[in-house]
Chains A and B, each alone.
Chain A
């Protein structure tokens, strides 16, 4: 019996690692290329081990940024936009989700339909009208223009949280109501703690999406001091000039670090400490 278990465990780990390597190969390529010299990156693209190491040059030239604005500034801008956008966005979304899932209010079906509709519209076609509006509101060139689209909540998180809440038995709400709680109290005491996984998932996604959005910063921001990381990375490349691929790849690696950190922090909450109590346990 013990042997069987060991065999299963071994197979599990073996397959998972194998698949894991396949999954992670592209990233290893990215990291190893950021260590190579510009001429080697594509000529010797197979090998994950650089023939010539150029780490310092790549990372420092990349960090120097564009035209006097260091990469650090870009990172900081991205952090501000992503953090505020995420906190505001997830909060707004969860509140709205609770309303849609649990409160019968006039017009809720119509507004939920609007939520779904916003999901279906491709961003590219909204950008120009949004730009015109922001310009009239005087928000161009302000990081606010990048934050506003997210901070009022977005359909993805609303929908996700709605589904999670609908997975919770209505008896919980009813029990609390009998105990004298109003809707808000039910939310704070009962529902919210139980949808923490959804909230965390939303947080991870939201941060990542805001972090790597390129098109909105491109259209809305003119001052390089306000550029975000995703936009900045694009500026490194021009088909008709000499390109610092090493620097660009190095900064790509750097730009992934915060997102990975956010994920690593929160994935623990997802795993442990998720309350499944309160349900039929």
Chain B
């Protein structure tokens, strides 16, 4: 390899690289970078959307950390939601994907049935359904009384259980993660299983020694995505519980949204948004760094 060829290759890579990311880059500049700069600016202002923003330095941040119990409350609720929902959802998705990754009758139907909740999950209609199901004369209460447990308050109205109705809505929508696992399972060559079977590996050994390691890139992907999305959860609590009862389902982004529009406090909510980005960023960096310890890439990059 002459040096000339190498440097040509290097220059060529840059050109190709930028051409390929050009569409994304354009979108990023218009839809993200500029709004981000504006939003960061807002976070240092008092801004009610109706009059020009007024610069107030770090006042929003001091209020957030020292004078706003709702900030800490919503942060706590959101953390709880993330740490409960994500593992449950991933485990469900993985198990069901494993089960459906075979040739059986009606498989397409089952797959559709498990995926469809993901499709409808964010709609107003489903939230109405959820309120019914977990409400005072809903199916959930009825089932409980069949077993002999009589509740005074419904799941939705009880500050201790309301968050779980929303978590259950999230788990119900495991179909999307399941789909991703399924797609990845398809990519695992059958030959590996066959050869390990010949070597005497049993079903569960195969799962733990072959399937899971091969799937770690996708598990990693699902994990990061689910964590990020769980931190940003909004619609469910907006429609089903409005953050109640007693703020037990006050998600961070719901709090943020309220402060932006309902309370005309856009500057403060922008500050809240960027604090959230930092928190999520921290988690993401930690997860990314952990890749080397448990994620197995075929391409060994």
Contacts and interface: CB of A to CB of B under 8 A. Distances in A.
Indicate if A touches B (C-beta under 8 A): yes
Interface of A: 9, 12-13, 16, 19-20, 23-27, 29-30, 42, 45-46, 88, 91-93, 95-96, 98-100, 103-106, 108, 111, 114-126, 128-130, 132-133, 148-149, 151-153, 156, 158-160, 163-170, 182-184, 194, 197-198, 200-201, 204-205, 208, 212, 230, 233-234, 237, 248-249, 252-253, 255-256, 259-260, 263-264, 267-268, 270-271, 274, 276, 279-281
A122 B129 contact: no
Interface in B232-268: 232, 234, 253, 256-257, 260, 266
A259 B31 CA distance: 26
Contacts of B104: 9, 12-13
A267 B118 CA distance: 14
B123 A233 contact: yes
B80 interface: no
B189 interface: yes
19 contacts: A20-B113, A26-B126, A46-B142, A95-B20, A103-B17, A121-B273, A126-B39, A149-B31, A163-B218, A168-B298, A170-B299, A170-B300, A204-B179, A249-B125, A252-B123, A260-B116, A264-B112, A274-B183, A276-B187
B289 interface: no
Given A29-B129, A121-B32, A130-B31, A20 B110 contact: yes
B117 A99 contact: no
Given A16-B110, A92-B23, A279 B139 contact: no
Contacts of B39: 125-126, 129
B139 A46 contact: yes
Top 3 A-B residue pairs of the complex, sorted by shortest distance between their CB atoms: A152-B27, A105-B17, A129-B35
B137 interface: yes
B138 interface: yes
Interface stretch (B82-90, B157-165, B220-228): B220-228
A167 B298 contact: yes
Given A120-B280, A166-B299, A279 B187 contact: yes
Contacts of B183: 164, 197-198, 200-201, 270, 274
A184 B111 CA distance: 35
Contacts of B21: 95-96, 99-100, 111
Contact of B115 (A159, A164, A263): A263
B17 A108 contact: yes
B20 A115 contact: no
A111 B217 contact: no
